[in-house]
Chain A
Amino acid sequence: MATAAPAVAMRGIRKRFGAVAANDGADLTVARASVHGIVGENGAGKSTLMSILYGLIGADSGSIEVDGAAVQIRHSRDAMQFGIGMVHQHFMLVETFSALDNVLLGAEPGWHLPGARAQARVQLQALMRDSGLQVRLDAMVEDLPVGERQRLEILKALYRGARILILDEPTAVLTPQETDQLFVTLRQLRARGTTILLITHKLREIMALTDAVTVMRAGRVVLDCATADTTMDALAQAMVGRRVQLGRGAAAAAAPYGAPLLQAEHLRWRDAAGVTRLGDVSLTLHAGEIVGIAGVSGNGQSELLDALAGLLQPDAGELQLAGRRFTPARWLDPSTARDLALAHVPEDRQLRGLVLPFVAWESAVLGYHARPRYDRRGWMRHGAMLADAIVMMDRYDVRPRDARIRSGQFSGGNQQKLVLAREAMPEPRVLLVGQPTRGVDIGAIEFIHGRLRAMRDAGGAILVVSSELDEILALADRVLVMNRGRISGELPIDACTEGALGRLMGDAGAADAAFAQGAPA
């Protein structure tokens, strides 16, 4: 305890993948019993560095010390032996096993499972008391909410003797309440002497939780300092390599709204299980405004978006769009929506926005494939498709700038830019956007927000659904808050404070169990 040796010291780590240097001489020193944040844009090399530390991939050169002693980590077994544990962004759990069995899996002491279970249960209960990580050990993992699955993953690592815990984007799948709970737990673990390495791209979390922070860019460490000595702006600048303007800035003063372009009245919908997902939702989108929908995800935002885009037929209500009136008997369908100049950037770009095995220029006309520009009496006009895809990629800075690559091979941020470029191409009057920047790095967030504002300024009506409060606050002119399938309040942007919004999102943390479980993870 008296030694000042850092928990982890990595020096001069290099790793190349083909022609790309993922780590180009990266150094990292992590003090014992601290929370150390690692930030960087997608592809900056932070995950590679952590995978090297956890033994998932081998470094080309460089050295690693754990607690002051030089170690060779060739395999994750080695890492565990040195007390290093990792919780991946996508959980490594067997859904049809109980929580207890998931902990045991791979660490079974022998063939006699009932004995092992009893023994593990005693140890885990002690561990849970110590660490504050509460998990129902006998529940099936498939029945556990996301936050509890994550606690189980952490518990699993601790059970295997982890003193150094790597968390890869732990909050990406969590609601704000679950995030707060996680942070409480992590602070508790730190107090117990556990060292925590936190990979994230959310600077707010870095400021809230960490003791020290390392910023990576293009495989190198560009900033390494105590969190108290830096600011979010400084971190963002270090990540991107230039000044970044996030938030509203001066450009936000929007002109007064124009005519209503879309009006939805009293939308109601129950899902197959009889749970009310939309309960009497009404909203109007005017020309020249961005309306933000805030709320804990799973409170009906996705269903609202689908109903307005024609993908979900509500049980009751009415929709007016471009002078036409739709009722549940004859609801809007996606093709008609596009014909009426309504475009939709779906929340899940990989499932819906793109056909991943399609090359980019095929995905670039998805939904618009029947337009005469791309379709001459049934024959697809590949020339026009390719030409337009190149224009889209130029306008939205999609990288790599190659329309012949499969859609699935672009990074998440570039996929999102491609979808946005496609939906913006026909200059829609109404644009529905779900999670505009989920998993997108800071430089691209700035770019996407700029584009959305430009479309608003050109007279478009834009609806933004986002689970990131920051994003709503940065983009919206008017904010609606959804809670349990209803609009629980509306605020002009000037009246929006986190406190006010939080109160409207309100008891969402205690939302019905049915609601929370049905929510997409």
Chain B
Amino acid sequence: MSSGHELPRWLDLGVLPLFNLALALLVCGIVVLVIGLDPGQVLSLLAKGAFGSRMGISYTLYYATTFVFTGLAVAVAFHGGLFNIGGEGQAMLGGIGTALVALALADHWPAWLVLPLMTLAAAAFGLAWAAVPAALQAWRGSHVVITTIMFNFIASALLSWLLINVLKEPGNMTVESRSFGPGAHVPAVHEVLGALGIEWPRSPLNLSVLLAAASAALVYLLVWRTRPGYMLRAVGFAPEAARYAGIGPRAQVMFSMMLSGAFAGLVGINEVAGVHGRLLLDYVVGAGFAGIAVSLIGRNHPVGIVLASLLFGALYQGGAELAFEIPGFSRDMVFTLQGLIVLFSGAMAQVAAPTLARAWFAIERRLAPRPAHG
């Protein structure tokens, strides 16, 4: 048993994550040192690449947008007591939904009509893809961890089949659909800012970033402020207590998984509609799995997920910059750094907690005997 003392909130949510991050960076520094590079230079280049320019910031935010969607997807399922590893496949389906609506309507219909429909389709396709494993779990007891992984492969195969046999433009040698019509164009941030008279460098960052921010707020309200959220958490924390309270677990499994799938599906808006303007093969590239790490580091809370997404976005962007700037610092090294940060901030997030708690209570005790002066 632990000592029974809980850490004060500011220590638990503020100091502990920073401490973990510092620890991760320290180990990263040692690794960098071992391969014969200057850790200070690498870290400052990483930070500069991610935040040092308007361009860098834009890319960081663009990556973060996708991670917010997949991170929220993992968190929503987690609060319902489920581990959704199918973010990858659900995001692919979201892209397919986006593309089908765009290809069907965007040539003739105006953007103000097509964009909401695309968003709905992205969410609906992700939702439907998550609903199947959810139903298998709820009625047949097939574990979602297994079925969602399998559904990732099926999604990937489905996407290939669609692109090769149905959506590929005749005469085009690459496996991709034709470009979407003008109605499917999600305004890029530099376009919007340019229209407002603010100069901003060209980047893939588009208005999906606002959708991500709204999704984070929605998840907070839904999970902690509404009755469905209350029921979701009751089932997630204590299925027997929920049953006692008259909350049917099946409906909750369906609800949390479908909601989860819907958020993962929104990745399609950012990547397929926002950046590429056409459906292609590899627009998810591990974002679904990164969402698991993001949610873990963000303690499954929307605020934490947004911060963790920014961290991941910064690592992606800064890492790309690093690989470009320093010869010999390969993409693999960047992955190593990312891995270390996931290890310390995610998997081992609570390892330092007892030490920190002891230190804090020692300080507290030293302060306590002094007479209070008001």
Contact = CB atoms under 8 A, between A and B. Distances in A.
Contacts of B6: 409
Contacts of A18: 5, 361
A370 B241 contact: no
A111 interface: no
B233 interface: yes
A309 B368 CA distance: 50
Given A355-B238, A356-B238, A378 B228 contact: yes
A451 interface: no
Interface in A371-394: 375, 378-380, 382
B246 A338 contact: yes
A357 B6 CA distance: 13
B4 A17 contact: yes
Given A362-B230, A366-B234, A355 B243 contact: no
Contacts of A382: 225
B244 A346 contact: yes
B200 interface: no
Contacts of B199: none
Interface centre among B226, B243, B244 (most CB of A within 10 A): B244
B3 interface: yes
B161 interface: no
B240 interface: yes
B245 A380 contact: no
Interface in A331-367: 333-335, 337-338, 344, 346, 348, 351-358, 362, 366-367
Contacts of A338: 246
A358 B244 contact: no
Contact of B241 (A335, A355, A375, A379): A355
Contact of B227 (A346, A354, A355, A369): A369
B324 interface: no
Given A353-B241, A366-B234, A369-B231, A335 B225 contact: no
A496 interface: no
B234 to A, nearest CB: 5
Nearest to B224: A380
Contacts of B3: 17
B245 A369 contact: yes
A311 interface: yes
Interface residues of B, number: 24
B244 A379 contact: no
Contacts of A366: 234, 241, 244-245
Contacts of A348: 240
B250 to A, nearest CB: 13
Interface string B226-270: 111111011001101111111000000000000000000000000
A19 to B, nearest CB: 8
B240 A358 contact: no
Contacts, number: 72
Contacts of B241: 351-355, 366
A29 B5 CA distance: 32
A335 B230 CA distance: 16
Contact of B245 (A17, A19, A334): A334
Given A17-B3, A334-B245, A380 B230 contact: yes
A383 to B, nearest CB: 12
Interface in B206-225: 225
A382 B245 CA distance: 18
Nearest to B231: A369
Contacts of B368: 19
Contacts of A355: 233-234, 237-238, 241-242
A351 B240 contact: yes
Contacts of B230: 362, 369, 380
A352 B368 CA distance: 39
Contacts of B234: 355, 358, 366
Contacts of B246: 310, 333-335, 337-338, 367
Interface residues of A, number: 33
A354 to B, nearest CB: 6
Contacts of B240: 348, 351-352
A344 B226 contact: no
Contacts of A369: 227, 230-231, 245
A372 to B, nearest CB: 11
Contact of A311 (B237, B243, B361): B243
Nearest to A309: B244
B237 A380 contact: no
A334 B243 contact: yes
Nearest to B221: A379
B244 A311 contact: yes
B244 A370 contact: no
Contacts of A375: 227
Interface string B1-14: 00111100000000
A409 B233 CA distance: 18
A351 B234 CA distance: 12
Contacts of B361: 18
Contacts of A334: 243-246
A351 B238 contact: yes
Contact of A367 (B5, B226, B227, B245): B245
Contact of B225 (A337, A351, A356, A379): A379
A353 B227 contact: no
B227 A378 contact: yes
A8 B256 CA distance: 58
Contact of B226 (A337, A346, A378): A378
A311 B6 CA distance: 35
A18 B226 CA distance: 37
A358 B233 contact: yes
Given A17-B3, A334-B243, A370 B237 contact: no
A370 B227 contact: yes
Nearest to A336: B246
Interface string A428-467: 0000000000000000000000000000000000000000
Contacts of B244: 309, 311, 334, 344, 346, 352-353, 366-367
Nearest to A370: B227
Nearest to A366: B245
B17 to A, nearest CB: 20
Interface centre among B226, B231, B237, B243 (most CB of A within 10 A): B237
A272 to B, nearest CB: 14
A356 B233 CA distance: 11
A408 B23 CA distance: 32
Contacts of A379: 225-227
A109 B115 CA distance: 74
A370 B242 CA distance: 13
Contacts of A358: 233-234, 237
Nearest to A344: B244
A430 to B, nearest CB: 16
A323 B241 CA distance: 28
Contacts of A337: 246
A384 to B, nearest CB: 13
B111 to A, nearest CB: 32
A275 B368 CA distance: 60
Interface string A132-153: 0000000000000000000000
Interface string A51-74: 000000000000000000000000
12 contacts: A17-B4, A18-B5, A19-B368, A309-B244, A337-B246, A348-B240, A353-B244, A355-B237, A366-B234, A367-B244, A369-B231, A378-B227
- The 4 A-B pairs with the shortest beta carbon distances in the complex, nearest first, are A335-B246, A334-B246, A367-B245, A352-B244
Given A338-B246, A355-B241, 18 more contacts: A310-B246, A311-B244, A334-B245, A354-B238, A354-B241, A355-B233, A356-B237, A357-B237, A358-B233, A362-B230, A367-B245, A369-B227, A369-B231, A378-B226, A378-B227, A379-B225, A379-B226, A382-B225
Interface of B: 3-6, 225-231, 233-234, 237-238, 240-246, 361, 368
